[in-house]
C-alpha cells in the first residue's frame, strides 16, 4: 500500500505512518468508525460499528439505511477510527494536547450479496466487537438477513497517526508553578447487568466476564 495525496501526512508527519501493521493494530483496538461520504454536494459523517478482515472493513445496518444505500453504489468514502489514550496537560494553554491513535482510510464499498459471505461478514463484525459471542447466539434467519445490508469496504489508501508521551512545553514555561502531565483515559467495562428475562441457570460467559482483557490487549488504558 503506497501513500498517495489523500493520505499524505502534512502536519507533524513524524507522528504518522503508512505501515500496515500499525494501521491494523489501531483498527483492531477500535470498533466504532466514522464513515464520511458526499451526496449531491452535501457531506455526511455517520458513526457505525465495523469488523476487519485483512485490508477490508465490514459495515452493516438496516437495508433501509441511507448511508448503506449510498455507499453500495461505489461512491468514494472515508472511514476514520480514533482512540483517545489521555489528556496531555501542559503548563500553557496553547501546548495542551491528547495522546491518541487514529486511522484515516479511503476506499469504496460493495454490497455483500452471497448469503454465506454475508453471514461470515456478520460473524466478523460480531467477533471484532466481542470475541466468542457468535458461537453462543442464534444465527440470523432468512428474514433477518433480508432486512440487513452488509458492505465490504476495501481500503485503497490509509494512514495512521499516533501521539504518545508527556507535555512538550516551551523551555521558558518549565519554570512555571503549574502541574503538568498526562491524565490517562480509556474504555473500561462495568459489572455486567443480566437481562430481567434471563432463563434460570444461564451463567455469565467468560468472554463477557473478561472483556477488559480485550481492551488491555489492544493498548487501552
Euclidean distance between CA atoms 1 and 86, whole angstroms: 30
CATH code at position 121: 2.30.110.10
Tell me the pLDDT tens digit for each residue of 154-173. Answer: 999 999 999 999 999 999 99
More confident residue, 2 or 137: 137
Q: Is 115 part of any domain? A: yes
Question: Three-class SS string for 54-109?
Answer: CCEEEEEEECCCHHHHHHCCCCCEEEEEEEEEEEEECCCCCCCEEEEEEEEEEEEE
**Does residue 47 form part of some domain?**
yes
Residue span of the structural domain in which 127 resides:
5-87+98-168
pLDDT for 9? 57
Mean of pLDDT over the chain: 92
Put simply, whether the predicted model's pTM sits higher than 0.85 gets the answer yes
In total, how many domains does the chain have?
A: 1
* 211 found inside a domain: no
Band of residue 4 on the pLDDT scale cut at 50, 70, 90: low
Query: pLDDT grade, residue 1 (50/70/90)?
Result: very low
pLDDT at 2: 46
Percent of the chain topping pLDDT 90: 86
For residue 98, the cross-strand partners are 87
| Residue 163 within any structural domain of the chain | yes
74 inside domain: yes
The answer for residues whose C-beta is within 8 angstroms of residue 180's C-beta and 6 or more apart is 89, 90, 91, 166, 167, 169
Amino acid at each position: 500500500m503506497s501513500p498517495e495525496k489523500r493520505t499524505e501526512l502534512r502536519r507533524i508527519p513524524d507522528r504518522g505512518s503508512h505501515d500496515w501493521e500499525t494501521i491494523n493494530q489501531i483498527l483492531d483496538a477500535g470498533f466504532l468508525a466514522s464513515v464520511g461520504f458526499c451526496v449531491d454536494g452535501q457531506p455526511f459523517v455517520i458513526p457505525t460499528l465495523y469488523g476487519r478482515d485483512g485490508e477490508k472493513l465490514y459495515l452493516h445496518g438496516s437495508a433501509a439505511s441511507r448511508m448503506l444505500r449510498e455507499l453500495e453504489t461505489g461512491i468514494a468514502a472515508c472511514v476514520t477510527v480514533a482512540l483517545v489514550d489521555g489528556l496531555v496537560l501542559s503548563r500553557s494553554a496553547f501546548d495542551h494536547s491528547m495522546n491518541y491513535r487514529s486511522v484515516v482510510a479511503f476506499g469504496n464499498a460493495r454490497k455483500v450479496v452471497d448469503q454465506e459471505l454475508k453471514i461470515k461478514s456478520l460473524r466478523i463484525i460480531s467477533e471484532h466487537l466481542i470475541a466468542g459471542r457468535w458461537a453462543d447466539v442464534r444465527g440470523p434467519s432468512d428474514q433477518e438477513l433480508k432486512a440487513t445490508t452488509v458492505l465490504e469496504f476495501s481500503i485503497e489508501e490509509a494512514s495512521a497517526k499516533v501521539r504518545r508521551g508527556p507535555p512538550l512545553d516551551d523551555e521558558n514555561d518549565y519554570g512555571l508553578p503549574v502541574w503538568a502531565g498526562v491524565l490517562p483515559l480509556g474504555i473500561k467495562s462495568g459489572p455486567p447487568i443480566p437481562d430481567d428475562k434471563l432463563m434460570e441457570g444461564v451463567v455469565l460467559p467468560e468472554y463477557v466476564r473478561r472483556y477488559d482483557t480485550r481492551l488491555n490487549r489492544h493498548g487501552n488504558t
